[in-house]
Amino acid sequence: MARITTFLNKKNFTDIIIGLVIFISLSALLFYLIISTDYNFRWHKLIDYFAFFDGGFHLGLIIKGVIFTVKLSILIILSSTFLGILFAVTRYLYPDSLGFLIYIISEFLRFTPPIVVMFIFYFFLGDKLIPDILIDMIIENQNLEKIVSIFIVPPEIFKQFLSAAIGLAFYEASYISEIIRGGLNGVSRSQFDAAFSLGLTKYQVFLRIVFPQAWEKTMPAMAGQYISIIKNTSIASVIAIPELTFVGTEIISSTMLVFEVWFSIMIIYFIINFTLSTFVNRLDYLARSKYS
């Protein structure tokens, strides 16, 4: 009871009421649109696409699509974060030389559709990045093939998967670099003077004082960018990577369960993104609480 009272005291009660009214109104509108259509709902036919028993327990296509989406998202998030930090730090420390080149690359990527960037990496750079001989080596080694299939993807789609991951990682890194650069510029310059007076070098100041503060400042914005990354993985469906959106289109083409499939996929994306957002916001809260 005390927690509820504290929550109501912290929030604007009017905003809560307005939010509830909007939510209920939208839910009622959606319910009305659903029951007013002549669509024949067949939710029971979708169950086997989540999981089924056939001589044992097996994952359905939708769950397999979720696994591919999570794997691709993790790889892109890690790669784009590393590249974004690299781009931002380079522009921050060397703004007139190498930083200017990074600026041109970042602007070019930001103003190009992500699907075009992915196509460039897939059709023109894929063979250079992942030669066919590497795929053959993985397939010929059964133990290596099993490891790659479990932790990454089957070798047959390894080239598509890695090309999409690298292409989207560079695209997202152009946005992440701007977020981190904003955090770096938000650190007071007076802290540099104080640190230099203590005898710290330029790089010590950056690593020990500037970057940790900048990273904490950018966490809310980074959460939004990570959510964008997860949603953008659906673009990979156009090069036949069996992630969630691709699997959805395949199921619809064979079953015509249009509403059931897309509604389920929408809920799955929401759960993944909401979980990620909650986790990052919790980290941000813990980081800020040490100063309060």
Q: Is 9 helix (H, G, I), strand (E, B) or coil?
A: helix
Could you tell me the domains of the chain?
59-289 (1.10.3720.10)
Is residue 107 within 8 A of residue 172, CB to CB? The reply is no
What gap in Å lies between CA 155 and CA 143, rounded to an integer? 12
Q: What are phi and psi of 253, to 5 degrees?
A: -65, -25
Q: What pLDDT tens digit does each residue of the chain (292 aa) get?
A: 555 555 555 556 677 788 788 889 988 887 787 777 777 778 888 888 888 887 778 888 899 899 989 989 999 999 999 999 999 888 888 887 888 888 898 889 989 899 898 888 888 776 666 666 566 666 666 666 676 666 677 777 777 888 888 889 999 999 999 999 888 888 777 777 777 777 777 777 778 888 888 888 888 888 889 999 999 999 988 887 888 999 999 999 988 888 889 989 999 999 999 888 888 878 777 767 765 5
pTM value?
Answer: 0.81
What gap in Å lies between CA 119 and CA 162, rounded to an integer? 12
